[in-house]
Structure formats: structure tokens, C-alpha cells
Amino acid sequence: MPTEDATWTLLRDVLAERYDELRARLSRWLGSDELARESLNETWLKLHREDQPGPVHNPAHYVLRTAANIATDWRRGDGRRAKRFEVQAALEVASPAPDAEREVAARQEFALLQRAVNELPERTRRILIAARLQGRGQQEIADEFGISTRMVRLELKRALDFCESEMQKGSEMQKGSDDRFLSKPAQSSS
């Protein structure tokens, strides 16, 4: 149905009528049914606008492309989060037989992470635990807390940023105290 006079209502109707087809195509392209569903849900929200979309020659393609762009943006964000090695390293299990130094360092990092997580607001802490430790999906978490998946992502970002910052501060403080401990004692002038 090529049209030059597309409206946001028409695009929402296309999404609603062809949801299963669009989700299947997006799932194949993204390799994730959950990501496909979440990006189509976010697309639905983006299609609630007051202005006019302008010329749209293929409404189904427009909706699919919008959802794909949303998913791509989320993946880019996930790539940035994946670089937060301090938080991730503390959550991962170390080798089965670490040496004493590595074990002490891991315990210190874990203590820093525990302290940071405990300082989070209760809802943010519960969302972080549900997503990262229990492995629950964003939609499931959103339903439990009565919030949008976008809000879940914002809470997770807030939690990870805070934990990363607190671990970095604690790591710098620990390094400073190690340096003082290892430095030579001051010479007395007697």
C-alpha cells in the first residue's frame, strides 16, 4: 500500500496488523526474539506523535526499519556497558584455584561492589539484581515494577554507572593505601 499521505495512525495500524510478521522478520535479522519484541514495542511508542511523518512509500518497511534502528541503538549501548570490566569482573567467577593475591583482590572488588549495590535506591537495586543476577528480561522486569522497558534500561544504566564509579573510587583509595604501606618510612632527622 504505497502512499505519500502516511499518518502516524496508519503506521501504528500497520504495526498492529502485521505485528507477528514484523516480529518474525526482525527476530531473524537480530537473532533475538526478545530484542525484536522490545524494539517493536518501543517503535509503537515512537509512532505516537502529533506531527506528520512525511512521505512514506512502504509503511511496513518504515515500521521495520524504525524497529531495527532502535535495536541497533540498544546494541551499541550494550557494547558500551560490556566494557565496564570492573563491574563484570567482580560478578564473574574467578579461576577455580586463584593465588592468594588474586583472591584478596577479588574479595576486595566484591566488597566494593556489594557496598555500591547496597547504596543504590531499593527499586534500582532490585532491578539490577533481577536483570544481572537472575537473568530476567527487561519486559518481565517492567511488568513486575509497573514501569516501561525504557525506564528499566534507565535504571540499569544508573545502577551500572553508580557501581562503576564507586568501584573506581574504592580501587583508587585502595591503591593509595597500598602505596603508602609499600613506601619507605620517613627518615628521622635525629
Low-confidence stretches of the chain (pLDDT beneath 50): 1-2, 81-82, 94-95, 188-190
d(CA 159, CA 165): 10
Model pLDDT, residue 84:
54
Question: What is the model's pLDDT at position 94?
Answer: 47
* pLDDT for 175: 64
pLDDT of 53: 75
pLDDT value, residue 169? 85
Nearest to 53 by CA among 41, 65, 39: 65
Query: 16 — phi, psi (to 5°)?
Result: -65, -45
Interval 58-72: pLDDT, tens: 888 888 899 989 888
Q: Give me the pLDDT at residue 51, please.
A: 77
Q: Which domains does the chain show, CATH number per domain?
A: 8-81 (no CATH), 84-181 (1.10.10.10)
pLDDT at 101: 78
The answer to whether residues 71 and 35 touch, using CB atoms and an 8 Å cutoff, is: yes
Question: 93 by DSSP, 3-state: which?
Answer: coil
Distance between CA atoms of 166 and 160, rounded to whole angstroms?
10
What pLDDT is attached to residue 18?
A: 92
Q: What is the pLDDT of residues 76-113, one digit of tens each?
A: 776 554 455 555 555 555 445 567 777 787 788 888 88
- Report the b/e string of 33-57 with b at 16+ CB within 10 A: eebbbbbbbbbbebbeeeeeeeebe
Find, among 19, 9, 34, 22, the residue nearest to 65 by Cα.
Answer: 22
